[in-house]
Amino acid sequence: MQISRETLLRSYRAMRTIRAFEERLHREFATGEIPGFVHLYCGEEASAVGVCANLTEQDTIASTHRGHGHCIAKGVDVGGMMAEIYGRKTGVCRGKGGSMHIADLSKGMLGANGIVGGGPPLICGAALSHKVLKDNGVAVAFYGDGASNEGTTLESLNLASVWHLPAVFVVEDNGYGEATGSSYACAGTQKDRAAGFGMPYMECDGSDFFAVHDAARDAIDHARSGKGPVMLHVHLERWYGHFEGDSMSYRAPNEVADAKKNHDCLESFRERAGQDKLLELSALDEIDAAVADEIESAVEAAKQAPWPEEADLMADVYVKI
Amino acid sequence: MSKKSFRQAINEALRQEMRRDPTVVLMGEDVAGGQGGSSGVKDAWGGVLGVTKGLLTEFGENRVLDTPISEASYIGAAAGAAATGLRPVAELMFVDFVGCCLDQIMNQAAKFRYMFGGKARTPLVIRAMYGAGFNAAAQHSQALYPLFTHIPGLKVVVPSSPYEAKGLLIEAIRDDDPVIFLENKVMYDDVEDVPDEAYTIPFGEANLTREGDDVTIVAIGRMVGMANEAADRLAKQGISCTVLDPRTTFPLDEQTILECVEDTGRLVIVDESSPRCNMACDISALVAEQAFGALKAPIRRVVPPHTPVPFSTPLENLYMPNADKIEAAVKAVMMQKTREVA
Ligand SMILES: Cc1ncc(C[n+]2csc(CCOP(=O)(O)OP(=O)(O)O)c2C)c(N)n1
Ligand SMILES: [Mg+2]
């Protein structure tokens, strides 16, 4: 099925925004100005964007510690995200959460998560809300190959099947959980796990936006039409360390270079768009320039933004005491 | 004796105990690191902060086990192995992750001995990082020692320096009960003289890092250093403090705490854990019950507010106890109208 021009432009812009956002953070982190832990999503952009291109604002997603890409793909404000990462009052979470806790429920973004495997159970709950409230929404859990071994994840696969929930489980498999390879840590296969819990399984190359988009469309259609949960296994590569500061001695020296050269979702998008005459490359270049400006202003604004104040410390522990 | 960091002190304790006792095994996420990686480099990390680096190389894969990200299963496996002949040291990385495996600690390991009528021994150590001050935000900054102290059957260690860490960890490994060993993540690069040979520091014996006449400051873990800093400043202002490090929150050296309060008549407790039902509450109750007559002024607690740990630096600074806040609390108890003590 043809993807609309508007969707293609929007998706390319989202992927470019994630790439530029993350590469800028990589540089800014090295200056020591960014506090806390930062996990970059570079190289994995097509997964978040290809999936979210099939979602509406009403649909819900849950993300991970590597959450910036999912946030951007689901429409969270980029300036607010940057300010959050800098710990400023103007951040989407008012400086209280930081990189690992960016959330915007008004956008159906149930949060990045500092707890591996924290998202899948929450997505069962969100899917239950969509089902009970009959709003036609679906709920999507993004989680890593590492997170696929958490009890919470495996229990959620079961629960989603038992309750026949409109849920999609997106395994973002970049081959590593921290410094440990998934070939060591994951017994069996994701495919057999899906089968074990009685749900359909799909897989795709996560460096190819079009492949992710089409697989996600089928998975999401399945869930939305009331047929129960689905697993979508996305094969990915991460381009930076597990967190900023990781020297990656556990990876072969050429692994990342190869990924950048041969599996760059932005490059493959441009190629395909040109070959199939889907979009003019000049339109994509314009997007690149606009995104560069947007990120520059986001960083400038974040650095200028006010810090939270003393009164903010006690605010929002409860709705009401 | 040589200068060692907190990180090195822990590494050395593990290494020496593993050499001494072949039943000591290590497990946790990336305690070695690199398994299944494309470079073939094993022992790539030695834990996220490099604390267990080199142990895989010396002791091999049978005794240094990288785990999948599956806390409920490997913490439970450590408990099961402890009850059946091994002495596992399991690393939970951040103590906050106990949310994923509390059952295996609270309902299993902690209760075996009592439930089984004294027939089990569970020589298990769970190491984890705790504490704020790292901009690690609400899910990676908690100081959960009160949670464990609350559970009968667990021993809970919160070392305050490299010397303390080494001796207490060796004690923990040799102990036959389940021990939760909590390391403050801000302290790994702290350095002091630490003996090269193995030594133990007994549980339940408080350490007085200084003795004074006016106020007793009880401080836990990283707070001990802050309390000493405050006490230095106060000494210059003519106020002399005792600083007491309980070392273990269970067993708790109640007697030494009470003796110090009898001597000084004033008590400030510094605890970086959330303020409700924490160690500061517990120790306050102890003193109110058993040394009420000695108190010349109300007890003061220097604790964070009842909020999750905030991310942003200014908020985290407001949140944390520090030497200024301790100094102010000590001055406040000194100013408080002295009660006539019989
Ligand atoms: C419950 C829990 N255990 C461990 C961690 C530490 N941790 C953070 S990210 C991570 C690796 C996650 O791997 P994966 O799910 O594959 O995601 P990726 O980092 O590859 O995107 C680990 C072990 C955590 N945050 N929460
Ligand atoms: Mg992974």
Using alpha carbons, list the distances in angstroms from residue A196 to A46, A85, A161.
Answer: 28, 39, 10
- Choosing from B152, B170, B194, the residue where a domain stops is B194
Query: Which domain, by its residues, includes A285?
Result: 5-299
Do the domain assignments include residue A318?
no
Nearest to A146 among B69, B100, B139 (CB): B69
pLDDT digits (tens, 9 = 90+) for B212-237: 999 999 999 999 999 999 999 999 99
- Note whether ipTM > 0.85 here: yes
pTM above 0.90, yes or no: yes
Q: What are phi and psi of B128, to 5 degrees?
A: -155, 155
| Token pair 């006010």 in the structure block, residue | A306
Q: Using alpha carbons only, how large is chain A's radius of gyration in Å?
A: 19
pLDDT given for residue B337 in this prediction: 72
Residue B143 and residue B29 in one domain: yes
Most B CBs within 10 A among A180, A186, A249, hence the mutation to make, goes to A180
User: Do A182 and A145 touch, CB atoms closer than 8 A?
Assistant: yes
CATH number, residue A115: 3.40.50.970
pLDDT given for residue B339 in this prediction: 64
Do the domain assignments include residue A320?
no
Which ligand approaches the C-alpha of residue A149 most closely?
Answer: 1
Amino acid A192 reads: D
User: Do A55 and A140 touch, CB atoms closer than 8 A?
Assistant: yes
Nearest residue by C-alpha to atom 13 in ligand 1: A177
Residue B231 and residue B136 in one domain: no
Whether chain A has a CB inside 8 Å of the CB on B57: the answer is: no
pLDDT at B122 over 70: yes
Do the domain assignments include residue A316?
no
Residue B70 and residue B153 in one domain: yes
Contact A150 B69 (CB under 8 A): yes
- State the DSSP H helix or E strand holding residue A173, giving kind and residue range, or none if neither: strand A167-173
- State the DSSP H helix or E strand holding residue A283, giving kind and residue range, or none if neither: helix A281-304
Residue B269 and residue B293 in one domain: yes
DSSP string for B28-57: ETTSS--TT-TT--SSSSSSTTSTTTTHHH
B64-66 vs B24-28, strand pairing mode: parallel
Query: Which domain, by its residues, includes B127?
Result: 2-194
Residue whose C-alpha is closest to residue B49's, from A144, A148, A179, A185 = A179
Using alpha carbons, list the distances in angstroms from residue A172 to A181, A207, A219, A234.
Answer: 14, 11, 15, 5
Q: Given pLDDT bands bounded at 50, 70 and 90, which one contains residue B341?
A: low
Q: What are phi and psi of A205, to 5 degrees?
A: -80, 115
- State the DSSP H helix or E strand holding residue A181, giving kind and residue range, or none if neither: strand A180-181
CATH number, residue B34: 3.40.50.970
DSSP string for B253-273: -HHHHHHHHHHHS-EEEE--S
Residue B244 and residue B163 in one domain: no
Do the domain assignments include residue B63?
yes
Distance from CA of A41 to the nearest CA of B (A): 19
For chain B, give the percent of residues with pLDDT over 90: 98
The CB of B30 under 6 Å from ligand 1? The reply is: no
Give SS3 for A59: coil
CATH number, residue B287: 3.40.50.920
Nearest to B140 among A114, A181, A185 (CB): A114
Residue B22 and residue B107 in one domain: yes
pLDDT digits (tens, 9 = 90+) for A266-284: 999 999 999 999 999 999 9
User: Do B181 and B126 touch, CB atoms closer than 8 A?
Assistant: yes
pLDDT given for residue B340 in this prediction: 65
* A115 CB-side CA count, 13 A: 21
Contacts of A36 in chain B (CB under 8 A): 134-137, 311
pLDDT given for residue B236 in this prediction: 98
Q: What are phi and psi of B273, to 5 degrees?
A: -85, 165
Residue B39 and residue B172 in one domain: yes
> For chain B, how many structural domains are there in total?
2
Do the domain assignments include residue A175?
yes
pLDDT given for residue B342 in this prediction: 55
- Choosing from B166, B194, B222, the residue where a domain stops is B194
Do the domain assignments include residue B319?
yes
- For chain A, 321 residues long, give each residue's pLDDT as a single digit of tens: 789 999 999 999 999 999 999 999 999 999 999 999 999 999 999 999 999 999 999 999 999 999 999 999 999 999 999 999 999 999 999 999 999 999 999 999 999 999 999 999 999 999 999 999 999 999 999 999 999 999 999 999 999 999 999 999 999 999 999 999 999 999 999 999 999 999 999 999 999 999 999 999 999 999 999 999 999 999 999 999 999 999 999 999 999 999 999 999 999 999 999 999 999 999 999 999 999 999 999 999 999 999 999 999 999 999 999
User: Do A273 and A8 touch, CB atoms closer than 8 A?
Assistant: yes
Catalytic-residue membership of B306: no
CA–CA distance, A22 with B146 (Å, rounded to integer):
38
Q: Given pLDDT bands bounded at 50, 70 and 90, which one contains residue B133?
A: very high
pLDDT given for residue B262 in this prediction: 98
pLDDT at B323 over 60: yes
Residue B90 and residue B144 in one domain: yes
- State the DSSP H helix or E strand holding residue B207, giving kind and residue range, or none if neither: strand B207-210
Residue B53 and residue B116 in one domain: yes
Residue whose C-alpha is closest to residue A165's, from A204, A202, A133 = A133
* Mean pLDDT across B71-76: 98
Do the domain assignments include residue A18?
yes
Residue B60 and residue B155 in one domain: yes
- Six-digit token string for B321: 């106890």
B241-245 vs B207-210, strand pairing mode: antiparallel
User: Do A170 and A234 touch, CB atoms closer than 8 A?
Assistant: yes
Do the domain assignments include residue B251?
yes
Residue B186 and residue B235 in one domain: no
Amino acid B175 reads: D
Do the domain assignments include residue B340?
no
CA–CA distance, A91 with A104 (Å, rounded to integer):
11
> For chain A, how many structural domains are there in total?
1
Residue B53 and residue B10 in one domain: yes
